[in-house]
């Protein structure tokens, strides 16, 4: 290589970083609304159910779990990953037709005019696709649609996860209350069994009656032991639902469910609810996927469009620049398929079939959601009748406790213990009804595409007695 050429090549290589940065700046950026904040890729294996950095608050509130706690879900993480994959693929396509600069080098020995000679190359290459029938742009729009759909799915998974947390929180509270009921019932049966032993020692009770009393007590003890095990089970289940298997909560605060007291079942119209399911995020995600697939069909129709490309090389194009290739070269190339043996038509049919599959998934999901909405509608309509029944039973249990207490104070035969258990069961029924009411309305909101309402910490308004019983 002669000295003047070395000097020119030195300046070419020195200008390379500047040219590359200018070319990158000239490329069309991805839309900001789709691109969003860039997150570092995970390069190490991580387990979702890892330990918490800070312990859970005690008592634990439902509001904290739904609004402030970093819930973890594999389905949510999967939807997030799918969105990022589609976005990265779109960005890759965006750079495919962009302006590119690279350095090409070659050491070659060849035969030319019956004599061996060098045929080396060292040059800068500049290239850009000028026209491809908007094929690249259509593919990008399709991938951006898939990314948007995955983001909608991610939000849907988050709302559904909150419903699961809400249900698990209620189950843990009800397990506490059920344990108190079974513990009281066991104590009542133990006292009865203890009296039976005294009566048996005085020969006032037969062996059969004693064994019967002991059997009744053992059944109550077994039920109480199961309830005690269920206390831990429901807390472990709650910990697993929130995504931290070892974050077992201790005390749970009774949530404020007063927002659901203002809901009127009479304001619901089943026909309107079935129409509103179109706002469900999973249906909106499928519609967005369908729109993205429609772009794929459009791209399949563009496969045989001509492609125009510009390329240029500057540098040593051969070992004999003065005689043959020279020191620069510029190409304007055109590629246009003339016959593809039916490849394009097959691709079009394939993409259309995928389009139909999205429509089928949409209809199937919409049908299932309409069924769920219908089921929730009738369950909500039954809430008023169930509340009346629970209140009547609570009044009966309260009056019967007063009656049993009066008999006890007059030293008459009484079932005061049974009356207390009955009252606890009445309170349990009312609490379970409140929880079920909140869950039904929350699920209906989710099916209609509405976000889950927030909850206040502290005792429920209008349910002071019940909430105090829970916290005791």
pLDDT tens-digit profile, the chain (472 residues):
444 434 343 333 344 443 334 433 344 444 444 444 444 445 566 655 566 777 888 888 899 888 888 888 888 888 888 889 988 988 888 888 889 999 999 998 888 778 888 888 899 999 999 998 888 889 899 999 999 999 999 888 899 999 999 999 999 999 998 898 888 888 888 888 888 888 888 888 888 988 888 898 899 899 899 989 999 999 999 989 988 888 888 889 998 888 888 888 888 888 888 888 888 999 999 999 999 999 999 999 988 889 999 999 998 888 877 676 778 999 999 998 888 888 889 989 999 999 999 999 999 999 999 999 999 999 998 888 887 877 777 766 666 665 566 565 555 555 666 667 777 777 888 888 889 999 999 999 999 988 886 554 444 444 444 444 444 4
Looking at residue 332, its pLDDT comes to 94
Q: What's the 3-state SS for 340-405?
A: CCCHHHHHHHHHHHHHHHHHHHHHHHHHHHHHHHHHHHHHHHCHHHHHHHHHHHHHHHHHHHHHHH
Looking at residue 406, its pLDDT comes to 59
Q: State which fold the 59-97+132-304+340-471 domain adopts.
A: Outer membrane efflux proteins (OEP) (1.20.1600)
Looking at residue 168, its pLDDT comes to 94
Q: Which long-range contacts (CB under 8 A, 24 or more apart) does 416-420 make?
A: 417/184, 417/187, 417/188, 417/191, 418/188, 420/184, 420/188
Omega prior to 59 cis, within 30 of 0 = yes
CA angle, residues 264, 467, 453, in degrees to nearest 5: 45
Render pLDDT for 84-129 as a digit per residue (tens, 0 to 9): 998 898 888 888 888 999 999 999 888 877 888 888 889 999 999 9
Residue pair 185/195 in contact (Cβ under 8 Å)? The answer is no
Cα separations in angstroms, 45 against 48, 49, 168? 10, 13, 29
Looking at residue 20, its pLDDT comes to 37
Q: Could you give the strand order of the β-sheet that contains 328-335, starting from the edge strand earlier in sequence?
A: 100-106, 121-131, 307-316, 328-335
Residue pair 398/425 in contact (Cβ under 8 Å)? The answer is no
For the chain, the first-to-last Cα distance in angstroms comes to 92
Looking at residue 458, its pLDDT comes to 45
Q: Taking the domains of the chain in order of start, what are their residue ranges? A: 59-97+132-304+340-471
Annotate 399-428 with b (16+ C-beta within 10 A) or e (fewer).
ebbeebeeeeeeeeebbbbbbbbbbbbbbb
Candidates 301, 354, 296, 285; CA nearest to 89 is 296
Looking at residue 225, its pLDDT comes to 92
Residue with tokens 């019983």: 469
Residue pair 49/240 in contact (Cβ under 8 Å)? The answer is yes
Candidates 434, 387, 380; CA nearest to 267 is 380
Looking at residue 369, its pLDDT comes to 94
Candidates 172, 153, 183; CA nearest to 237 is 172
């Amino acid at each position: 290589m002669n000295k003047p050429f070395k000097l020119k090549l030195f300046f070419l290589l020195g200008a390379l970083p500047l040219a590359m940065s200018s070319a990158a700046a000239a490329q069309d950026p991805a839309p900001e609304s789709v691109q969003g904040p860039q997150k570092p890729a995970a390069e190490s294996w991580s387990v979702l159910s890892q330990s918490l950095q800070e312990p859970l608050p005690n008592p634990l509130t439902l509001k904290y779990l739904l609004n402030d706690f970093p819930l973890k879900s594999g389905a949510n993480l999967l939807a997030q990953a799918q969105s990022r994959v589609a976005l990265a693929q779109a960005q890759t396509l965006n750079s495919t037709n962009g302006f590119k600069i690279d350095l090409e080098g070659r050491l070659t020995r060849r035969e030319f005019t019956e004599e061996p000679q060098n045929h080396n190359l060292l040059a800068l290459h500049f290239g850009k696709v000028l026209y491809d029938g908007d094929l690249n742009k259509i593919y990008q729009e399709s991938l951006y649609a898939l990314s948007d759909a995955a983001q909608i799915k991610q939000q849907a998974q988050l709302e559904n996860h909150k419903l699961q947390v809400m249900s698990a929180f209620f189950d843990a509270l009800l397990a506490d209350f059920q344990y108190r009921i079974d513990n009281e019932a066991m104590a009542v049966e133990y006292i009865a069994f203890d009296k039976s032993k005294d009566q048996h020692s005085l020969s006032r009770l037969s062996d059969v009656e004693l064994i019967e009393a002991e059997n009744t007590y053992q059944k109550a003890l077994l039920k109480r032991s199961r309830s005690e095990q269920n206390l831990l089970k429901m807390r472990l289940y709650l910990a697993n639902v929130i995504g931290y298997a070892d974050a077992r909560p201790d005390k749970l605060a009774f949530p404020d469910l007063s927002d659901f007291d203002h809901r009127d079942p009479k304001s619901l119209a089943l026909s309107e609810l079935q129409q509103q399911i179109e706002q469900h995020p999973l249906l909106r995600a499928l519609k967005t996927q369908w729109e993205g697939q429609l772009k794929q069909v459009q791209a399949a129709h563009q496969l045989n469009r001509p492609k125009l490309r510009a390329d240029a090389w500057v540098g040593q194009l051969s070992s004999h620049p003065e005689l043959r290739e020279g020191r620069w070269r510029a190409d304007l190339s055109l590629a246009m398929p003339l016959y593809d043996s039916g490849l394009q038509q097959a691709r079009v049919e394939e993409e259309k079939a995928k389009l139909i599959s999205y429509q089928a998934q949409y209809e199937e999901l919409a049908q299932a959601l309409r069924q769920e909405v219908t089921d929730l509608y009738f369950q909500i309509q039954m809430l008023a009748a169930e509340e009346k029944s629970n209140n009547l039973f609570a009044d009966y249990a309260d009056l019967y406790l007063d009656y049993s207490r009066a008999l006890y104070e007059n030293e008459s035969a009484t079932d005061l213990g049974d009356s207390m258990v009955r009252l606890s069961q009445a309170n349990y029924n009312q609490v379970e009804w409140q929880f079920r009411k909140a869950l039904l309305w929350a699920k209906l909101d989710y099916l209609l595409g509405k976000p889950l309402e927030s909850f206040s910490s502290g005792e429920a308004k209008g349910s002071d007695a019940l909430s105090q019983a829970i916290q005791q």
